[in-house]
Amino acid sequence: MTIFAANLNNRMNETDRIVALREELHRHNYNYYVLNQPTISDQEFDALLRELQDLESSHPELFDPNSPTQRVGSDLTSDFETVLHSRPMLSLANTYNKEEVREFYERVRGGLEDEAFEICCELKFDGLSISLHYEQGRLVRAVTRGDGVQGDDVTANVRTIRSIPLQLQTGGDWPQEFEIRGEILMPWSSFEALNREREAREEPLFANPRNAASGTLKQKQTSVVAQRKLDAYLYYLLGDQLPAEGHFENLQAARSWGFKVSEAMRKVQTLEEIFDFIDYWDTERRNLPVATDGIVLKVNSLRQQRALGMTAKSPRWAIAYKFQAEQQSTVLREVSYQVGRTGVVTPVANMDPVQLSGTVVRRATLNNADFIAQMDLHLGDHVLVEKGGEIIPKIVGVDESFLASGERGPRIEFIHNCPECGAELVRYEGEAAWYCPNDSHCPPQIKGRIEHFVSRRAMNIDTLGPETIDELYERRLIRDIADLYDLTVDQLNGTHGERERSARKTIQAIADSRSVPFERVLFALGIRFVGETTAKILARAFRDVDALARASLDDLLQINGIGQATAESVIRWFQDPDNAFLLERLRSHGLQLALSEEVLAAQSDRLAGYSIVISGVFAHHSRDEYKALIEQHGGKNVGSISKKTSFVLAGENMGPAKLEKAQKLGVRILSEDEFLSMIQ
């Protein structure tokens, strides 16, 4: 055999091995993440995966985005493309009591003119709605619900979710093209682990698994998504060549193709069977590995669904029954206090552990001093803790059944001094919160301000996370944001130089931040009450930091959108000698402390006094670019339509609800071209 023939034969063998490994690993993923019945050990799985990775590295021409190796994600960042749904993703009408379920059942009976019908009862998973598109058995696109008409293409992130098949099982009778919808979820175990990590880094905790799943799926690094171990349940199949006429039957088929479909789904006929299903899962849901917040009832027949039709917002053939928020009684043992980035001091209740909506709860927010006084809380009180699908655990009252003895512990009094630095707390007029005013020397505020400064929407030094900032602070390498610009690669690359690559990346990101425009630098400074929008307003009004520093209270209050609290906060910040010194250091490091000549030349007052809503998909510019243009020309971006809206900038497929409201209120609708002509 010639060397060429031997090499060709070897390549063919490796190609066959790649195909075989991909099929085998897809099957093992299905067995483990969908069936919960692994047939090989983790070590054996990892060995097969490593073999496939090595072979794919040797044969880049055989790259496949649906390969099992792609589930680990990457560190590359990407923006999300907006995609129109082929069929609108409507929301369901909600009900909170059985009487309304009865009314729904009777409406269906009347709408079908007493024709026999079946109801499919399903769990309502509390996650992020997703639409998955398959062609020839391969995942080609994953799109979030968005506004129901269009959503974000999150295919790269969804590929990391191991319970979602990338390639359907060989020999399945699936249609050539179809769409399947469901819910992306973060299991309770993953949610608790993630919040433990965030708590250790003193990061804000996610309120619930749904928020965590949503935030994770919008991550720009697929490697982060892969680490957080999301899950998915699928609950609706759409297409032109579905296997059955019944919704329930279609999902059974989807399960056989490799999709994770809930085993809890039941097909019933009577109202009593529906109530039995609700009663059973109102209790049993607490034992599920994922969050649920209700029951979904759907007419099973697709023909009958079409006959019943839709309202403007939701289908007439389905309804969601929402469970009441769960409440438990436990003992309040201690109140601790946390200091945030802006100096806000938040009281936290530390309680005896209690099981609540699938998690063990030991801590709950107490909001502020007024909340504590209003509740008349005492140490040792039995308190009622609530945690619905939308909220962080919170105390909603004292359990009065334990007050009969009349004996209570000491009344809880809000602290007077900062628990971190000892400074006397202050309370600003009109504010419910107490603040630590020692923002220059209070450790949590210093580290929090640095974290804010490096964040993506501020200076975008995204290689510096909370752990690294904490380490650099403890090593006394940084004490304020200006210190970042004195860091060197040697200080960041570890004891034995093991982090040199990431260190160089960080130093480059710090250098790149010198070109961040003035309005973002102003936002990054972390002045209390100065968010992104306020920073843009101040930057446009004063044009450079020196003019802003000289501004009087009256000067600031003359600006539309600047209130008393914000104006006073800006004055205080610039009057602080430490901040004046900080600004001079930032200036010496070359940060942008004035609007550029290019921005100044492009500014105008053509849209001054206009409140503008943006809706739809655009051809010439992105939505963010249009928002920037509106602000550049003196206009104000608003999120919802009201009588005060000046006009709607509308692209293709404007949201139907916004279109209806604009027409009802007589609000003008401008196309892209009309808007661009307006601002010349």
pTM, rounded to two decimals: 0.51
Residue 184 has pLDDT above 90, yes or no: yes
Q: What is the pLDDT of residues 517-542, one digit of tens each?
A: 999 999 999 998 898 888 988 998 89
Residues of the chain with CATH 2.40.50.140: 326-339+357-402
Q: What is the pLDDT of residues 557-583, one digit of tens each?
A: 988 778 898 999 999 999 999 999 999
**According to the model, what pLDDT value does residue 87 have?**
86
What average pLDDT is seen over the chain? 86
Residues of the chain with CATH 3.30.470.30: 94-322
**According to the model, what pLDDT value does residue 558 have?**
87
**According to the model, what pLDDT value does residue 114 have?**
85
Residues of the chain with CATH 3.40.50.10190: 604-678
What's 279's DSSP letter?
A: H
Residue 434 has pLDDT above 50, yes or no: yes
Dist CA 559 CA 564 (whole Å): 11
> Residues near 341 by Cβ (< 8 Å), separated by ≥ 6?
444, 445, 448, 449, 451, 452, 526
Among candidate residues 98, 124, 322, 658, the one labeled active-site is 124
Dist CA 370 CA 123 (whole Å): 39
Phi, psi of 46 (to 5 degrees): -60, -35
Residue 369 has pLDDT above 60, yes or no: yes
Residue 390 has pLDDT above 60, yes or no: no
CATH of the domain spanning 94-322 = 3.30.470.30
Residues of the chain with CATH 1.10.150.20: 443-515, 518-600
CATH class for the region spanning 518-600: mainly alpha
Q: What is the pLDDT of residues 116-171, one digit of tens each?
A: 999 999 999 988 999 999 999 999 999 998 878 888 889 989 999 999 999 987 66
Please state the separation of Cα 464 from the chain's center in Å: 21
> Residues near 93 by Cβ (< 8 Å), separated by ≥ 6?
311, 313, 314, 318, 319, 320
Is the domain defined by 443-515 classed in CATH 1.10.150.20? yes
Helices 577-588, 564-575: crossing angle, 10 deg rounding: 70
Question: Given 1.10.287.610, 1.10.760.10, 3.40.50.300, 3.40.50.720, which CATH number is that of 3-71?
Answer: 1.10.287.610
Mean pLDDT of 266-281: 95
CATH of the domain spanning 326-339+357-402 = 2.40.50.140
CATH of the domain spanning 604-678 = 3.40.50.10190
Active site residue 124: yes
